[in-house]
Amino acid sequence: MPEVVRKGQQGRAARMNGTDINPYDAVAYPGHAFAQTHPARLATIAHAHGMAAAPAAAMRVLELGCGRGGNLLPMAAQYPGSAFVGIDLSGSAIALAQRATTELGLGNLAFHHRNIMDVGPELGRFDYILVHGVYSWVPDIVRERIIAIFGELLAPQGIAYVSYNALPGCRLRDLARDVMLYATRDIAEPQERVRVARAALKAVAEASDAETFHGAALRQRLQQLDDTPDNVLFHDDLNPGARAFALHEVLGAAEQHGLQFLAEASFPNMYGAAKGPAQAMLAGIPVEEAARREQTLDLLIGRAFRETLLCRQDVPLRRGVKPGALKPYHLAAQARLVEAGEGEETRSGVDRFAFDAGVKLSVDLPLCKAALRRLGAAWPAGVAFDDLVAQAVADVGAALQGDVAAEIARLDEALLAIFKAGLLDIRLEPPALTTTISERPLASAVARWQATTSREVTDLRHRMVALDGVVVRKFVGLLDGSRTQETILSDLNAFLDEAHGSGRDVGDLPRLATAEAVAVHLKDVARLGLLVS
């Protein structure tokens, strides 16, 4: 979450009810896990570029603007041999983070109520420094200090992650911000500020000419904000000091502190949404000029948000994705076999696969079809590349025609294409999860703790997943590794009996759970990536 500088530097935006108050104490910002910041993912990206980043099992991680600790808590629980430090200026957020640390019994995690401006070398070196949702929302002096901290505290093979609103895409977003900031220029109270901002944008957007570029942009942003929580709108759009940056601006600041562009956290990010002539323009830029490629891509597609990774300038990097590049990794994909939709072409020997990104692929290569079926069955767990190849060859069996080595090379080529399309996740170290139901199932400690108060929990891929109802939340809480399926059923029914006997309105809560329902719940929890291997 964004950091706010010390009293006097934030200005009128922090002044509420006549007193200088940290806006993040006045209005809490959502605090949860961000999968793109997970060190295991960052280490994989670094490895793909020739770096030897610290392994997740033995690393030091610093997060600036950590908020309530929703991003660091699951990491610390997952890697007890590593050390984690969170910094935030919001005293209320840090208090919640410290309470959570105590409740989870995490001795490898420390949260500090501190200004980013006061962060110095006394904290030591870090293998990973994370700054998510901060850079665009603080004054220049704090932005400069963030980059300086990277230069001072990053380990020799360390990785810094920084996200920010990007240009030129955010220029469209700023059209709507101009409307909202003008309407709320004399309003300090947060809820009223949000209410007036929404009403003003709606009125202006609907009164504008929909046939013009400006009117269309206002309407699009109005529609997007329908799904934006009030607290996010308050901090992200109604902060008058917020601004967007071109990639080259951020990299220029980084170079002054001995840092270079590593990659985007959205790796492989192979040209993104660029099509046709745009692809040709990007292909004409040498692969070694990664920063120029990325900046050109932004200009072509109007990217509005970036998650940039930096490393030290003296680290030699390897650019490009070549044949055999996937061999060191565990592969994962949420792929499932589907029927061709209405109007879609069907051909003999071609299978249609749907991915979680909503993309569908038609695949005719037998080994690739077998590999995607294997990955779909294993999800959310991953499969080592060599194991996946062996499984696919075994599945195709005698139907495999021609030279096996040549067919495996074609499979490698196909998987690389799927990876470049952003549909295949790779990890140097796979997440410690399982889809196998053991005699005494164990869900992650963080998910069990979160389920007591929230329907959203963090899975072992560091994503936020939703639990469907109070029964499932209670069910996850029972998976502490001490219960068999029989005792889980007994304790779940005891919970239901107590709920129905309490006299409270329990809605559609069932009166009795069955062994079959427990088995179904276990499969669902496994597919959500909550079971520890």
- In order of 362, 424, 462, the CA distances from 355 in angstroms are 11, 9, 19
Q: Strand 305-312 and strand 15-16: pairing?
A: unpaired
Q: What per-residue confidence (pLDDT) applies to 463?
A: 95
Is residue 233 within 8 Å of residue 225, measured between CB atoms? yes
E strands, 289-349, in order: 305-312, 330-332, 335-338
Q: What percent of the chain has pLDDT over 70?
A: 92
Q: What per-residue confidence (pLDDT) applies to 339?
A: 84
Q: Is the pLDDT of residue 18 over 60?
A: no
Region 323-331: mean pLDDT is: 96
Q: What per-residue confidence (pLDDT) applies to 501?
A: 85
Q: In what order do the strands lie in the sheet with 109-113?
A: 109-113, 83-88, 60-64, 126-131, 154-165, 305-312, 259-264
- The two tokens of residue 497 are 């009996």
- Residue 193 class from Cβ within 10 Å (0-12 exposed, 13-18 middle, 19+ buried)? buried
* pLDDT confidence tier of residue 72, bands split at 50, 70 and 90: very high
Q: Is the pLDDT of residue 13 over 70?
A: no
Smallest CA-to-CA distance from 363 within 437, 452, 424, 272 is with 424
| pLDDT, averaged across the chain | 91
Please tell me whether the overall predicted TM-score, pTM, comes out greater than 0.85 for this model.
yes
Smallest CA-to-CA distance from 149 within 167, 176, 122 is with 122
Q: What per-residue confidence (pLDDT) applies to 507?
A: 75
pLDDT in tens, 25-48: 555 556 789 999 999 999 999 999
Which region among 48-52, 340-344, 466-470, 474-478 has the lowest average model confidence (pLDDT)? 340-344
Region 468-488: mean pLDDT is: 95
3-class secondary-structure state, position 193: helix
Q: What per-residue confidence (pLDDT) applies to 22?
A: 59
Q: Rounded to whole angstroms, how far apart are CA atoms 500 and 506? A: 7
Region 248-268: mean pLDDT is: 96
Q: Rounded to whole angstroms, how far apart are CA atoms 1 and 95? A: 15
- In order of 105, 441, 478, the CA distances from 483 in angstroms are 21, 7, 8
Q: What per-residue confidence (pLDDT) applies to 357?
A: 72
Q: What per-residue confidence (pLDDT) applies to 9?
A: 32
Is residue 27 within 8 Å of residue 188, measured between CB atoms? no
C-alpha atoms less than 13 angstroms from C-alpha of 466 in its C-beta half-sphere: 2
Region 384-406: mean pLDDT is: 92
Q: Respond yes or no on whether the N-terminal peptide bond of residue 268 is cis (omega within 30° of 0).
A: yes
Smallest CA-to-CA distance from 375 within 439, 430, 321, 443 is with 430
Q: What percent of the chain has pLDDT over 90?
A: 82
Write down the domain spans for the chain. 32-166+244-312, 170-236, 330-427, 445-527
Q: What per-residue confidence (pLDDT) applies to 6?
A: 31
Residues facing residue 20 across a β-bridge: 15
What single string gives the DSSP state of each residue in 409-424? HHHHHHHHHHHHTT--
- In order of 259, 260, 412, the CA distances from 256 in angstroms are 7, 10, 40
**CATH number of the 32-166+244-312 domain:** 3.40.50.150
Q: Rounded to whole angstroms, how far apart are CA atoms 368 and 353? A: 11
How many of the other CB atoms lie within 10 Å of CB of 485? 17
pLDDT in tens, 423-446: 999 999 999 999 999 999 999 999
Q: Respond yes or no on whether the N-terminal peptide bond of residue 39 is cis (omega within 30° of 0).
A: no
Q: Is the pLDDT of residue 272 over 70?
A: no
Q: Is the pLDDT of residue 287 over 80?
A: yes
Which region among 229-233, 344-348, 352-356, 473-477 has the lowest average model confidence (pLDDT)? 344-348
Q: Is the pLDDT of residue 499 over 90?
A: no
Q: Rounded to whole angstroms, how far apart are CA atoms 302 and 296? A: 10
Is residue 97 within 8 Å of residue 122, measured between CB atoms? no
Is residue 474 within 8 Å of residue 454, measured between CB atoms? no
Q: Which amino acid is at 153?
A: L
